[in-house]
Amino acid sequence: MPFSGTYLKQYAASMQGRGNDVERPSWVPEGVDITVPNSARAYDYALGGYHNFQVDRDFLDRLVQALPGIRADAIANRALLHRVIRWLIGQGVRQFLDIGSGVPTVGNVHEIAQELAPESRVVYVDIDPVAVAHGQAILAGNPRAWAIEEDVHRPADIVNHPDVQRILDFSEPVAVILFLAMNYVTDDDEACAVMAYLRDSLASGSYIVLTHLSPFPGLEEEVEKFRKMFDETPTPITSRSREQIADLLTGLDLVEPGIVRIADWHPEPDDESDPRAGAIGLTAVARRP
């Protein structure tokens, strides 16, 4: 289009549909489709939550068949989140941007953070409108926490979202939580670009926390089967090697013990960890220098 006026750019942007909708006219929004499984709600079911639909439960049941340890993995991943939040609070971080938060039902970041430090500010980001609507219902009375609907593929839209800008102060340290979120950015270059954008948006002393599906020695086949099942959801996933995960964290300082199994990151002293739990992925906490 030859016309490149500001207004038209804004207009074009507002008319742009979500990434992979090719068939639909760009201005027709997606509806809420509860006939296809949604990984946020399936994750909720794995954690023992009830904020899910039959299609999500069926999906998880099939995932469990492919990878029997998946429930334990989900629980281990959630337990890690709590350890990490407590650790970050201990480091003085009071702002949290939880991207790919899922349905905020079982063990929310804001609950842990605000219990330890009431002034903590939290924004949840998810692509699932139901998860977001529910999150907003829970957070209605909480002036320092909110949920927004955005896509991890568009970090600029997340960081510049008015609600994010309203609640978080990017001139101060912010912890960006990407728990099993970068799996959804399947293209490596794009994933690095997303990470770079987030990294560059953060003040020194900020953190990026990552858990990522990673083919563990001996589990390659199962993990691949598991990965493939997401191809039928609106949000396909990829797994990445330790090296690829390290690439994502370029420009950041890894916090000890580095990129490790989910269960091995600062375990609780008396935690006899499930020998298999968290075997599905790797985690890392990295600091913006």
Residues lying near other proteins in the complex (CB under 8 A): 1-5, 7-8, 11-12, 14-15, 27-32, 34, 47-53, 72, 74-75, 78-79, 82-83, 103, 105-107, 111-112, 129-134, 136-137, 268, 270-272, 274, 277
Q: Which residues are CB-neighbours of 196 under 8 A, at least 6 positions away?
A: 250, 251
List the beta strands (DSSP E) in 44-144.
95-99, 121-126
Give which of 64, 148, 59 is closest to 104, Cα–Cα.
148
The whole-angstrom separation of Cα 12 and Cα 27 is 10
Name which of 46 and 97 has its Cβ closer to other proteins. 46
Give me 96's structure tokens: 């949290």
The whole-angstrom separation of Cα 70 and Cα 187 is 24
Q: Which residues are CB-neighbours of 228 under 8 A, at least 6 positions away?
A: none
Q: How far is the CB of 49 from other proteins (least distance, A)?
A: 7
Q: How far is the CB of 51 from other proteins (least distance, A)?
A: 4
- The region that residue 282 occupies, defined by phi over 0 for left and psi between -120 and 50 for alpha, beta otherwise, is beta
The whole-angstrom separation of Cα 252 and Cα 267 is 23
Name which of 3 and 162 has its Cβ closer to other proteins. 3
Q: How far is the CB of 172 from other proteins (least distance, A)?
A: 26
Name which of 147 and 255 has its Cβ closer to other proteins. 147
The whole-angstrom separation of Cα 153 and Cα 238 is 14
Name which of 1 and 22 has its Cβ closer to other proteins. 1
Q: How far is the CB of 132 from other proteins (least distance, A)?
A: 7
Q: How far is the CB of 60 from other proteins (least distance, A)?
A: 14
Name which of 59 and 201 has its Cβ closer to other proteins. 59
The whole-angstrom separation of Cα 278 and Cα 145 is 28
Q: How far is the CB of 126 from other proteins (least distance, A)?
A: 11
Name which of 149 and 247 has its Cβ closer to other proteins. 149
